[in-house]
Amino acid sequence: MRADLALEELTVSLRALRTVAAEFPALPAPSVHVSPVFPKRLELSLHDDFASFEPWRLALGIACEDVRFGVQSDGQTWVLTACGDFAGASVHLTAFHAALDSESRGQRCVSP
């Protein structure tokens, strides 16, 4: 990170955020992260809600093949991640959800 980075150098990621908000205002609100460490990256995260991931993926134009499934916290949390380019920025989309127990898995379908 450069100490002399000006706010204007974050315009690529901020423009991508503004564009997606203007074009898809009904999308569920994510947590948003923009950093001077990666000024052209927009990070969006959805917590406890895998259902919101798919509309975001579609809006951002990220291919199904680019979605990755993982687990963290000793298998307690499931994670979906996908990256793509949108409005000139590198967008990193992440969703977190509590893992379903073995009894619930047969009753509810969640495909990673």
Q: Give the 3-state secondary structure of the chain.
A: CCCCCCHHHHHHHHHHHHHHHHHCCCCCCCEEECCCCCCCEEEEEEECCHHHHHHHHHHHCCCHHHCEEEEECCCCEEEEEEEEEECCEEEEEEEEEECCCHHHHCCCCCCC
Q: Give the model confidence (pLDDT) of 51-97 as tens digits.
A: 999 999 999 999 999 999 988 877 778 999 999 999 999 999 999 99
The predicted structure's pLDDT at residue 104: 44
pTM of the model: 0.83
The predicted structure's pLDDT at residue 79: 94
Q: Which domains does the chain have, with CATH numbers?
A: 7-105 (3.30.460)
From the list 14, 11, 44, 48, the residue with the least C-alpha distance to 29 is: 44
